[in-house]
């Protein structure tokens, strides 16, 4: 029960292809400019080396970093990660319900609705986590967001994740009642 289990959200084919293709296409542009500059050729108009370096770092941070992080089920909490874009945790005792959902994460990859925080790279294998009380999360690890009642994430092994999370939440509820 106390083991930490990690669940990936980037290995599902749709996520890997969709997000990967978008990442590649966005990075090709500044990387090609940097390659041009490295060969001593002038950059196209309105493009500078500094701006291109900044764009490369920014795009890599936003688009590549999610491939290196996973969500975690820890002993007492669910840790949600999405590269540099997001990091947060929810205690099991604060979770009211967990269920699969087919709703679309419109504001991909990270979007805050009045009630719902979407944390999905691609709108597939979505899991909705309903909270007992509103909770706020920091976006981009810095910016405080408003309180939400629900968090929607995507994971590759959705059924296993839901079963595991429900078991942990039920166990946390039993411990709470025993106290």
Partner 1 sequence: MADPHETVQPLLSAYLDGELETERRRLVEAHLAACPVCQETLASLRAADDALATLAPTPAVPPMEHEFRRRLRRRSARSGLAASLVAIFALTAWSLLLELKKVVRHKDMPLWFRLTRALSALLLLASLSGLFRELLRDVRSLAEYAWLSGEKRGGERTHDRYDSL
Binding test (CB under 8 A) with partner 1, winner from 124, 131, 139, 151: 124
Residue 74 binding partner 1, by CB under 8 A: no
Residue 130 binding partner 1, by CB under 8 A: yes
Binding mask 14-53 for partner 1 (x = CB under 8 A): ---xxx-xx-xxx-xx--x--xx----x--x---------
Count of residues in contact with partner 1, rule CB under 8 A: 38
Binding test (CB under 8 A) with partner 1, winner from 11, 49, 75, 97: 97
CB-CB neighbours of 149 under 10 Å: 16
Q: Which is nearer to partner 1, 3 or 102 (CB)?
A: 102
Binding test (CB under 8 A) with partner 1, winner from 5, 89, 108, 145: 108
Residue 93 binding partner 1, by CB under 8 A: no
């Amino acid at each position: 029960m106390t083991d930490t289990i990690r669940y990936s959200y980037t290995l599902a084919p749709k996520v890997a292809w969709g997000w990967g293709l978008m990442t590649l296409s966005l990075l090709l542009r500044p990387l090609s400019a940097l390659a041009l500059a490295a060969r001593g050729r002038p950059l196209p108009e309105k493009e500078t080396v500094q701006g291109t370096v900044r764009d490369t770092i920014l795009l890599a941070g936003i688009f590549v970093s999610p491939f290196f992080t996973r969500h975690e089920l820890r002993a007492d909490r669910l840790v949600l990660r999405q590269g540099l874009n997001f990091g947060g945790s929810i205690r099991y005792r604060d979770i009211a319900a967990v269920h699969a959902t087919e709703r679309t994460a419109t504001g991909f990859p990270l979007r805050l609705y009045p009630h719902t925080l979407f944390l999905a790279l691609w709108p597939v294998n979505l899991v909705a986590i309903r909270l007992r009380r509103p909770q706020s999360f920091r976006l981009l690890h810095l910016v405080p967001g408003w309180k939400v009642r629900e968090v929607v994430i995507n994971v590759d092994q959705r059924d296993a994740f839901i079963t595991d999370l429900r078991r942990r939440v039920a166990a946390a509820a039993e411990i709470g009642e025993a106290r």
